[in-house]
A and B are shown apart, each in its own frame.
Chain A
Amino acid sequence: MSELLELGERILGKAEGSGEIELYMVSDRSTDVTIQRSEINMSRFHVKELIGIRVLHDNRLGFASVNSLDESLILEKLDEARSLARHSLEDENNVIPSPGKVSHLEGLYDPGITDFTLDDSLAYAQLFIDSALETDARFSLSDGFFSSHDTERAVVSTLGTGECERSSLFLYMGMGMAVQGEEISNLDARAGGSRDIDGIRVEEVAGKLVESTVGTLGAERGESFRGPGILSPSCLGDMLLSGLMVPLKGNRVLKGMSPLADMVGERIASPGFTLRDSSNMPHGLGNRSFDREGMPTPELTIVDGGILMSHLHNSYTSHALKVPNTGHASGGPRSVPVIAPSNLVMEPGDSSLESMVRDIPRGILINRFSGEIDPVSGNFSGVVKGGKFVREGEIKHPLKNMMVSGNIFHMLKGISGVSKDVRRVLNNIHMELPYVLVDDLSFTSG
């Protein structure tokens, strides 16, 4: 039995009083090398220990957390969680779930991480820098990092849950801009990661970052119009996470804050839009055997051919809405479980980016979206980053000072093309997404 599970069982054994208790524990050893101004900035080593304690008493919930696995401190915090529970509102939907049937995934842990040192992280960080600078001298890497994490997490409860998982994770990110004379490109960032050492690809991520920023040099002002846009996988990822995934969360549905509340079984997107949540995506960084509550995380088809198939739930929302728990309790030990996807996968289509561009008389290829999306109305408005103006089927020039607005729910119904090529995007959530062509966006040139 792992040390975390043993600790959890000991705490539950010592806990006095009535009510249910759930402990979520994380122990993480990490190395981290930060990059600043195209140079190594700092090397770091951390050990983190965290525990989140949920107490349910007479349908009242209390929560406390502490960054220590010291038994006496945990028992103190347990008492505090109990006290908080007494003051919270009674809610019959507050539940700590009974154990589910968890199948433990392979491939989450590379034993090689035990020999992976700060020196190794330093070498990868330097490789990121060298790869970026060798790609194009106009590029300036303002910030970045390479980190390794050897993490163990466990959840135990008085209802019999007892799950534990060890995982390895290597993450890397760069942020920078291209500078040419007086001109400065948009700032852009690219991140990548791997569960195993062999999968680390810092050169690839660095190269894409440079390509993206340098490609926006020479930007010109455009014109205001309504018309089609091609969303890159990165732009699509931003919009799906902020615009679509929020109203799909069970808590939004429950509180009447989701325009998709009564839409299961209804068309919400064009037939070319199929979206899955997968906790076992090949090389997925969000892969996990169980969720924040220790529940299994089966694959979930969210939208199938444009038809909404399911919302995302944890034990609270599934209980309240009387629907199956989809295993999407997420978050760390410092807060109560929230709802979030594991990894998102959109099915590819049969178009190519080139054919999408060819079919557009006047439109914009949007690399990144910087702005606000109201998840309740679906309205969005923001700046096109790394945008390129398309005229008569050809990419003409990069754009500056171009705003885009629309409504994400109308946009999903207006998808008229999906590329067969997909890209991996890491933006908190790991996603595999194609390019999509949407019919009707509002562009305002500044």
Chain B
Amino acid sequence: MRDILNRLVDRSTADHVEFRYHRRDQKRIEMVKGDSEEVHSSTYGGVGVRVLVDGAWGFSSTNRTDEKELTDTLRIAEGAARLSARNKKEKVVLEDDLSPVRGTFSAKVNDSVTGYSIEDKVKLLIGLDREMMSHPDIVSTRCLWNELQDEKVIVNGTGTDVRILDEKVEFYAIAYADLRGEKVVGMESRGVTGGWKDLFSRKSPGEMAQDAVKTATQLLKAKHPKGGNATVILNPELVGLISHEAIGHTVEADFVLSGSVAQGKIGQRVASELVTMVDHGNASPHAAGWTPVDDEGTPSQRTEVIKDGILKEYLCDRETASLLGMTPKGNARAYEYSDPPIIRMTNTFIEPGDHRLEELIEETRDGYYLQGAMGGQADANAEFTFGVEKAWRVVNGELTELLRGVSISGSGFEVLKSVDAVTDDFEFQMGSGYCGKFQMAKVDGGGPHLRCEATIGGKQ
């Protein structure tokens, strides 16, 4: 395969050419309240070809991998680029200060999930489902297992020739309790790059199922908040979500160039000096957004988006890096072979500070301690809204009543400007989720706990 792709790179008449072979084998098992909803195996593989001709992009893809088919696909992509070029006013120029990358990059996998049979995994989910359903307050359950085995080969006109072997796995345990006809949910989930031991390094599957039940039953007794502006302490999952949704998308260079709120703000204070926000595809071998080399062949590097509260860098691909005078650091990603690479985050997080969580809570006179995300959305102007799984009222330094149905919103940069304390702990906690910007991407996010001001949505 690599020989064929290298030959075709040499034969291409395009100004730049990239071939990406990508085969994905997925196994997915879903158990809902005692029934196996899905025991599923899929294979999705082929080659995507992206070319640049006369300053314009063309792309084509094929599920076949013989030389004749790949030659035809290359010609189609070149033809498409030539068509685009007729309408392209601002010609694409690529950042070319890049060294070719060669070699094989393998995910660090402790106890590969391929060593466990489908039968093992189905049995695990059946057992957990039964255990959760045995609690008298639990009326429904859902357990989900999803694993992706990826092989990727990237060969391009800059001399890059890499092979990436990746294993990503996700697990969810969800318990529903019934509150006078209204269901409340407790969810434990984790997603990692790695194997069985990496996935369950923090909690065993049984502990995750028990904790899901515990949360659901705790929330049965919880009330709704009233709402309004408030001091909030965010846990690492919510810190990751704000970093990703509210800030991260606004600093993706394609959105910046379209006029996002981060445009023209490099060098300006956009957050409290306690905040340093980073995106890095190689930040941790087990973070779910592990991306050693991106789909343009750029090795992942640490991008300090915000350093001590000052906006420093945008997330770029080779095209936007050239336009903005920045360095591409591994953010051009494609979900599957039939997708062209676009600017995506990888693992996005805020660096830890020096507070202890206990101190942070003790110092808070009136506020909320928020744990767990239930989905989130954000806008080009950094306005965001996130659902929160559990919220404790904090009064005079103590956690008091538990609340449910809480959401928070605000302007991402305004919220980060209000940060007055950052703890010394750190976790990636967003690995079970995906980002859905035109195409899916496996990402992660996290950080320490931090205290800031935000709007709590509630009942007036």
B and A form one assembly: yes
Residues of A within 8 A of B (CB): 33, 36-49, 61-68, 77, 80-81, 83-85, 87-89, 91, 118-119, 122, 126, 140-143, 176-177, 179, 184-187, 224-226, 251, 255-257, 259, 334-336, 370-372, 374, 376-377, 379, 381-383, 385, 400-401, 403, 405, 442-444, 446
**Cβ-defined contact, B41 with A39, below 8 A:** no
Which residues of B line the A interface, CB within 8 A? 32-46, 50, 56-64, 76-77, 79-81, 83-84, 86-90, 117-119, 122, 126, 139-140, 176, 181-185, 227-229, 254-255, 257-261, 338, 340, 374-375, 377, 379-381, 383-387, 405-407, 409-411, 438, 455-460
Enumerate the 8 nearest inter-chain pairs by beta-carbon distance, A residue then B residue, closest first: A142-B258, A446-B455, A376-B183, A42-B57, A43-B80, A381-B407, A372-B387, A187-B380
B43 touches A403 (CB 8 A): no
B84 touching A442 by the CB < 8 A rule?
no
Say how far B360's CB is from chain A's closest CB, in angstroms. 23
> In the docked arrangement, what's the CA distance between A36 and B50, Å?
16
Tell me the bound Cα distance from A48 to B63 in angstroms. 8
CB distance B83 to A257 under 8 Å? Answer: no
* CB <8 Å contact, A256 and B33: yes
Contacts of A39 in B (CB 8 A): 87-90
A43 contacts B460, C-beta separation under 8 Å: no
Nearest B residue to A258, CB-CB: B183
Q: With a 10 A CB-CB cut-off, give which of A187, A376, A381 has the most chain B CB atoms.
A: A381
Q: Is the CB of A142 within 8 A of B39?
A: no
B405:A381 contact, CB within 8 angstroms? yes
Q: A122 and B228 in contact (CB under 8 A), knowing A37-B254, A187-B380? A: no
Contacts of A187 in B (CB 8 A): 379-381
* Inter-subunit contact B259/A444 (CB<8 Å): no
Which residues of A lie under 8 Å from residue B62 when comparing CB positions?
47
> Which residue of chain A lies nearest to B456 when distances are taken between CB atoms in the complex?
A444
Whether A64 contacts B40 in the complex (CB less than 8 A), given A37-B254, A37-B258, A40-B87, comes out as yes
Interface centre among B386, B409, B458 (most CB of A within 10 A): B409
Nearest opposing residue in chain B for A64, CB measure: B41
Question: Within the complex, which residue of B44, B56, B380 is in contact with A40, where a contact is CB–CB below 8 Å?
Answer: B56
CB<8 Å pairs between A and B, sample of 18: A42-B57, A65-B42, A87-B122, A91-B35, A122-B86, A141-B258, A142-B258, A143-B258, A185-B381, A224-B227, A255-B140, A259-B181, A334-B44, A372-B407, A381-B405, A383-B384, A401-B410, A446-B409
**A382 and B407 within 8 A (CB):** yes
| Given A42-B84, A62-B39, A63-B41; 8 other pairs, CB 8 A cutoff | A39-B87, A44-B80, A47-B62, A67-B63, A91-B35, A142-B254, A184-B380, A443-B460
Known: A142-B258, A446-B410. A336 touches B59 (CB 8 A): no
- B residues near A442, Cβ cutoff 8 Å: 227, 458-460
Beta-carbon contact of A405 and B458 below 8 Å: yes
